A and B are shown apart, each in its own frame.
Chain A
Amino acid sequence: MYHYSSFDQDLVTNRVAQFRGQVARRLDGSLTEDEFKPLRLMNGLYLQLHAYMLRVAIPYGTLNSQQMLQLAIISERWDKGYGHFTTRQNIQFNWPKLEDVPDILEALAEVEMHAIQTSGNTIRNVTADHFAGAATDEIADPRPIAELLRQWSTDHPEFQFLPRKFKIAVTGSSTDRAVTRVHDIGLRMVTQGGQSGFEVIVGGGLGRTPMIGKILRDFLPVEDILPYVEAIVSVYNLLGRRDNKYKARIKITVHENGIEEIKARVEARYREIKPQFQGADQQLLGEIEAYFKAPNFSHAQAPSLADFKDESPAFRSWADTNLTPHKAEGYAIVSISLKKHGGTPGDATAVQMRVIAELAREFSHDELRISHEQNVILPHVHRSDLPAVYRALRAADLATANIGLISDIIACPGMDYCSLATARSIPIAQQIATRFAELKLEHDIGPLKLKISGCINACGHHHVGHIGILGLERAGVESYQITLGGDAGAEAKIGSRAGPGFGADQIVPAIERLVLGYLELRSDGHETFLQSYRRLGAAPFKAVLYPAQQKAA
């Protein structure tokens, strides 16, 4: 993986020193809160419902064992012994004290991490496929491009005050695991005539006006990525609306101006700035690519999964759900679920982070990924090591076998932590997962993406959940709206609202009715919830959700 150059290290270290001074001046009264707030936000420090929250970037979701260990140490020393992994491959600490934050940032800088541009109207953490470098369907590892974009966008003077925040996602695979179609810019690697390049998607997004991105270029050669992305952001910087926060994202700019107008402007800007890119970016990309060379995979004889028939049923159940085929012979991708039934989606304790770090060091070529689905990935595990990995995970309460199932819920922090939230998400996720564990039906239900957001900003990606839940306030109480048929994959689709919302005590029974109804409606045991929904349409699902209304009608 990438290692900081002296330039990177100086930039991050200097930023820590600057912020240390800014915090000192805030505490001694030289800076007002109005003066200080933009400074702390530039360094990822929010003031939330109960405490400060520090959001730390995990660039394109990649960590090594030393970094994971440092996150564990930070959580023990300056927080409450856990961290929360987010839907944008960040980690959040929910309880830091203001005066400790410079020390935390210094500890992060020691392991080549930072919290720069995890807030504000800037280019945020560039996210990528969490199976990058390991997936069987990968054209090439997307992370060198993501790292190039990270370096280019970090402290880019032209893009520090964009009309609104700006999110980029990259995938190198035909299967879209990075939700590229609902990002401000999505880059999807494709090949044309033997050459690899990117499909460039622009103007996707969730939030109060969800939109699927539109294709700006169906093929952009790799060498044009930086000038082309710079052209897009530069056009948006001038054209994007600054008069209305709710119309400021590039999705609205694209919607209001039309994709053809945006395309004409971007292409013109691209032609203008392209000559300034005289190869330094390509030289840098070449240097970055060298850091992402595949590890030296072992050629040792590997057992097939069938060879594990003498292992415990629990191991085999875990292997069924939490393993994904690897591009290298003899290897598997291990997904570690942070969705224990009844737990908080995306949370890991310091002890668990230490175990994960150790497993990465010993069994995964020192590499980890964080997924936007709030799980942790050991990307390169030799199949002969799977029983040992499983035993260690199980001992650390990390062996929940539910990847891709109904209890593998994405949930934002909601009103338990977030000051923007309109309702809680975490207790709803906990109750749904607990209920389906009691019913012992989730393996029978099969693949089902359930996603919960605690407000219209949609950090929990509810719009692209097969079942989405949106928490709102209605008449002074929490109310939960269900959307159906969303999809985050290659055929990205925004879900449709099913009908009136449910109270906090009614949402779990409603989800149970819906899912039990699906089991009755599906053509056979292989038809997934989403396939049934697409085949049958919304009507039969609404009928099971709102039985009283059906009777009345």
Chain B
Amino acid sequence: MPSNSFSKVITANDLRSGEVIYMCFNGGWVAQLSDAAVITDPDLAKASLAFAEGQSDIAVGAYLSDVTDQANGPATTHFRDKFRSQGPSNYAHGKQEI
């Protein structure tokens, strides 16, 4: 898929653990970017973000993050989102412990 087309995931931090989470197709939340729902329709993205923001008992600071849709799942386009999906570089903590 060309990188200039609309392709987003919804991500946030888990209220209880603070962990990075992603919205999946059933509207629930998952820990891995590879399980996130990729949204290619701007109107659906807007509606989904509103839905995510309505779940403030689960998710904090939800936002739309740019991705490219790869064969093995979405891939981040910005290095900040990449770090969020992978955990810190100095210790095998966070996402690296899953």
- C-alpha gap A426/B84 in the complex (Å): 16
Does B46 reach chain A (CB closer than 8 Å)? no
Q: Which residues of A contact B18 (CB under 8 A)?
A: 47-48, 50-52, 95-98
- C-alpha gap A441/B60 in the complex (Å): 48
Comparing A25-33, A394-402, A531-539, the segment that makes contact with chain B is A25-33
Task: Out of A95, A98, A416, name the residue touching B16 (CB < 8 Å).
Answer: A98
Q: Which residues of B contact A337 (CB under 8 A)?
A: none
Verify B87–A50 contact, CB threshold 8 A: yes
| Interface residues in B23-58 (C-beta closer than 8 Å to A) | 56-57
- Binary contact readout A411-426 vs B (1 if CB under 8 angstroms, 0 otherwise): 0000111000000101
Task: Out of B19, B60, B79, name the residue touching A33 (CB < 8 Å).
Answer: B60
- Binary contact readout A9-53 vs B (1 if CB under 8 angstroms, 0 otherwise): 000000000000000001101001100000000000001111110
Output the nearest chain A residue to B94 by Cβ-Cβ distance.
A50
Task: Out of B13, B15, B80, B95, name the residue touching A27 (CB < 8 Å).
Answer: B15
- Binary contact readout A306-320 vs B (1 if CB under 8 angstroms, 0 otherwise): 000000000000000
Does A478 reach chain B (CB closer than 8 Å)? yes
Known: A27-B15, A97-B18. A47 touches B83 (CB 8 A): no
Interface size class of A (residues with CB under 8 A): 20 to 34
CB distance from B12 to the nearest CB of A (A): 10
Q: Which residues of A contact B75 (CB under 8 A)?
A: none
Verify B56–A33 contact, CB threshold 8 A: yes
Does A302 reach chain B (CB closer than 8 Å)? no
- Chain B facing A: main interface SS: loop
Q: Which residues of B contact A99 (CB under 8 A)?
A: 16
Does A427 reach chain B (CB closer than 8 Å)? yes
Verify A426–B90 contact, CB threshold 8 A: yes
Verify A417–B79 contact, CB threshold 8 A: no
Q: Which residues of A contact B56 (CB under 8 A)?
A: 32-33
Verify A417–B88 contact, CB threshold 8 A: yes
Does A344 reach chain B (CB closer than 8 Å)? yes
CB distance from B63 to the nearest CB of A (A): 12
| Interface residues in B77-98 (C-beta closer than 8 Å to A) | 78-80, 83-84, 87-91, 93-95
Q: Which residues of B contact A26 (CB under 8 A)?
A: 15
Does A477 reach chain B (CB closer than 8 Å)? yes
Task: Out of A47, A96, A478, name the residue touching B61 (CB < 8 Å).
Answer: A47
Does B9 reach chain A (CB closer than 8 Å)? no
Does A476 reach chain B (CB closer than 8 Å)? yes
Verify B16–A50 contact, CB threshold 8 A: no
Output the nearest chain B residue to A97 by Cβ-Cβ distance.
B17
- A-binding residues in B (CB < 8 A): 13, 15-20, 56-57, 60-61, 78-80, 83-84, 87-91, 93-95
